[in-house]
Amino acid sequence: MKRVYQIILLLLLITPLWTHAQTDSTSSFSLDDCIKYALENSVDVKNAKIEEQISQAKVRETTGMGLPQIDGTVNVTHNPKLPRMFMEYPGFFAQQPTPENPNPPPATPGIEDGEVFAMPNLFQLKSSGDAGINATQLLFSSTYLVGLRAAKTYKELSYKTTEQTKIQTVENVTKAYYGVLINNERVALFDNNIGRVDSLLKTTKALNQNGFAEEIDVDRIQVTLNNLKIEKLKFQNLQNLSLALLKFQMNYPMDQQLAIDGDLTAIEVNEETLNQYVSGWDFKNRIEYRLLETQRDLQKLNIKRMYSNGLPTLSAFVGAGYQTGSKNIAGLFKTESSFTETPDMGVDKWYPYTRFGLNLSIPIFSGMQRTYKIQQEKLALKKIENNFQSLQRSFDLNIQQNSITFENALESLKSQKENLTLADKVARVTKIKYEQGVGSNIEVIDAESSLRESQVNYYNALYDAIIAKVDLDKAFAKINPANYSTTDTQK
């Protein structure tokens, strides 16, 4: 029995600690925390950063073209059947005139001088070997210089693309976050409404038992309570779905708990926001415009590269190695010979050689290909210039649309807030009148229904206003991912 008491005491001590650990394991995130986590863990942001690394490697690759290029080669060749030698008769077979024989006879009777004949290859061995190292150094290339500038511009483009991805991530997370907050409030309101109607149901049942209310009055309120519970279940499912969407936008594990820390009353949505944005608006702050600027710079460099392809290229080269020859492959690697090495001649072993020089490549005529390539690139640049005009017009339209949407959302929010206040007042007064016996339960049910409708409409209007504010921030280039530090984001 003493042993059992000890086990029970141990369990009592461990249970609070385990419960505390379970509570701590659930992450609680504010909006900034959600954005920081998303910027650190979003797949799109990760891929954009990988593109940055690729662009950096591209710059180093292009830089490497101007560094010495060193290659080593080893070549072993065997010709089972050597090609024959073709010579003009008599060639070196002709007998040379001498004082004793000024008119020597033909080397081969019957063959006329000038005829071509074939003979065995007397000057080439069947096997040969060569092992060497070669180095080249680019001395001047206009194409290379332009390529360096283009590679750096490409890296800049990748950075701006990453910024655009981060802006989109901040926008998506912000909208999903406020969707969760709104649905949390909706579920909490249903709890309050259910509690209020349940209290009314108990009061009506008591009145019915005392003969002051009919059974149908109890049934009406019971139906209202049942409908509220069903609606609450629907909103709970919507609440779970909105939380899953937030996890998705953050790339947060779906199987882990996520608690949202935030208050809708702290959100500032007012007309002053629009006035401040309009006064300091500059379309050049939009990331889309800055991306197009970089694309234009790249296209201009591409045209320069096309022109530079027509300029000379100068490089230096140096090489050194060993070569040998033999009647078979095995002979290339033998180390002994019966011959004694003499100056300028020696046994069949590997002998060194060296070489160096300059190489100047001068493009002369490319069949007009380069001219038409330049023409194509200039037309592509013209398309980009046209896109600037289209982009600016799209900015103006986007700002006009989002400004109108924001203003309408503010008006709707203001009206729905007034309606909610009035509906709450009507529901409260109607309930008091019913409890005092001067009102009917039908009036109470209608008032409760109007209150619920006003609550739903208010939070719909609030969500629309928040989303309109986020869209307005993006339209006026007010979303700055740099405001969210990505350090210590793992919760």
The pLDDT of 447-464, averaged and rounded, is 92
Cβ-Cβ contacts under 8 Å for 331 (sequence gap 6 or more): 127, 348
What pLDDT shows up at residue 91?
A: 58
The answer to whether 121 and 301 have CB atoms below 8 angstroms apart is: no
Is the torsion defined by CA of 13, 14, 17, 20 positive or negative? negative
The pLDDT value given to residue 85 = 80
Distance CA 162, CA 114 (A): 77
pLDDT for the residue numbered 20: 42
CA distance 457 to 454: 5
Answer for the pair 262, 181: CB distance below 8 angstroms, yes or no: yes
In degrees rounded to 5, what are phi and psi of residue 319? Answer: -145, 155
pLDDT in tens, 300-341: 999 999 999 899 999 999 999 998 888 887 777 776 665 555
For the beta sheet containing 69-78, the strands, ordered from the edge strand earlier in sequence to the opposite edge, are: 69-78, 127-140, 313-326, 351-361
Distances (CA, A) of 168 to 47, 175, 288, 377, 474: 14, 11, 12, 31, 9
β-partners of residue 313 are: 361
Strand partners, 76: 129
Q: How confident is the model at residue 169 (pLDDT cuts 50, 70, 90)?
A: very high
Average pLDDT over residues 134-154: 93
For residues 227 and 222, what is the distance between their CA atoms, to the nearest angstrom? 9
pLDDT per position as a tens digit, 355-396 = 999 999 999 988 899 999 999 999 999 999 999 999 999 999
Average pLDDT over residues 242-249: 96
Asked if residues 234 and 182 have their Cβ atoms less than 8 Å apart, the reply is: no
Write the Ramachandran bin of 407: left for phi over 0, alpha for psi from -120 to 50, otherwise beta.
alpha
What is the pLDDT at residue 24? Answer: 45
Q: Examine the pLDDT at 172 and tell me if it is beyond 70.
A: yes
Instruction: Supply the DSSP symbol for 84.
Output: P
pLDDT of amino acid 259:
92
27 vs 351, residue with greater confidence: 351
Amino acid identity, position 239: Q
pLDDT at 48: 95
Which residue segments constitute the domains of the chain, with CATH numbers given? 143-308+368-479 (1.20.1600.10)
Residue 448, C-beta contacts closer than 8 angstroms, at least 6 positions apart: 193, 196, 197, 200, 224, 427
Instruction: Give CA–CA dist 39/429, Å, rounded.
Output: 50
Q: Which amino acid is residue 89, in one-letter code?
A: Y
Residue carrying structure tokens 């380069």: 370
Counts of helices then strands in the chain (DSSP H, E): 9, 8
